[in-house]
A and B are shown apart, each in its own frame.
Chain A
Amino acid sequence: MIDGLSVQLAQMALVLSLAPLLTGLVRKVKARLLRRRGPPLLQPYRDLVRLVHKESVVAESASWLFRIVPYLMFAATWVAAALVPTFATGLLFSWSADVIVIIALLGSARFFLALAGMDVGTSFGGIGSSREAMIAALAEPALIMIVFTLALIAGSTQLSTIAALMLSSNVGLRVSLGMALVALIIVAIAENGRIPVDNPASHLELTMVHEAMVLEYSGRHLALIELASSIKLLLYVSLIACVFVPWGLAPAGAPLHVHLIGAGIYLAKLALAGVLLALLETMIAKMRVFRVADLLGAALMLGFLATLLRFVSRGM
Chain B
Amino acid sequence: MQHLAFDIAHLLAGSIVLVSLMLLYQVRLYALLNVFALQAAVLALSVSWQAWLQDAPELYLTAAIALVVKAIVIPLALHRMIRRLGIHREVETALNIGPTMLAGLALVALAIAVVHRVSPDANMIAREDIAFALAVVLLGLLMMVTRRNAVSQVVGFMSLENGLILAASGAKGMPYVVEISVAFSILVAFIVIGIFLFRIRERFDTVDLHALDQITGSER
Contact = CB atoms under 8 A, between A and B. Distances in A.
Contact size range, A = 20 to 34
A266 interface: no
B10 A313 contact: yes
Of the candidates B18, B108, B128, B131, the one having the most CB atoms from chain A within 10 angstroms of its own CB is B18
B124 interface: yes
A96 B94 CA distance: 49
B97 interface: yes
B15 A301 contact: no
A172 B14 contact: no
Contact of A301 (B8, B10, B21): B21
B108 A308 contact: yes
Nearest to A301: B101
Mostly helix, strand, loop or mixed at chain B's interface?
helix
Given A175-B11, A313-B10, A308 B4 contact: no
Interface in A103-159: none
A174 B17 contact: no
Interface string A279-306: 0000000000000011001100110110
B25 A298 contact: yes
B18 to A, nearest CB: 6
A173 B7 CA distance: 6
Contacts, number: 60
Interface string A166-182: 00001011111011000
Given A172-B7, A173-B7, A297 B17 contact: no
A253 to B, nearest CB: 30
B175 interface: no
Nearest to B25: A298
A176 B127 CA distance: 17
B217 interface: no
Interface string A59-88: 000000000000000000000000000000
A311 interface: yes
Instruction: Name the residue among B4, B14, B128, B132 with the largest chain A CB count within 10 angstroms.
Output: B14
Interface string B123-154: 01001100110000000000000000000000
A312 B128 contact: yes
A53 B6 CA distance: 61
B4 A172 contact: yes
A309 interface: yes
B7 to A, nearest CB: 4
Contacts of A178: 11
A305 B18 contact: yes
A308 B106 CA distance: 10
A1 to B, nearest CB: 36
B109 interface: yes
A197 to B, nearest CB: 18
B98 A312 contact: no
Contacts of A311: 112, 116
Contacts of A170: 3
A257 interface: no
B117 to A, nearest CB: 12
B95 interface: no
B53 interface: no
28 contacts: A173-B4, A173-B8, A173-B11, A174-B10, A174-B11, A175-B10, A175-B14, A175-B18, A178-B11, A179-B18, A293-B98, A294-B97, A301-B21, A302-B18, A305-B17, A305-B18, A305-B105, A308-B112, A309-B10, A309-B14, A311-B116, A312-B112, A312-B115, A312-B128, A313-B10, A313-B128, A314-B7, A314-B10
Interface of A: 170, 172-176, 178-179, 293-294, 297-298, 301-302, 304-305, 308-309, 311-314
Given A175-B10, A305-B108, A312-B10, 12 more contacts: A172-B3, A173-B4, A173-B8, A301-B105, A304-B105, A308-B105, A308-B108, A308-B112, A311-B112, A312-B112, A312-B116, A314-B10
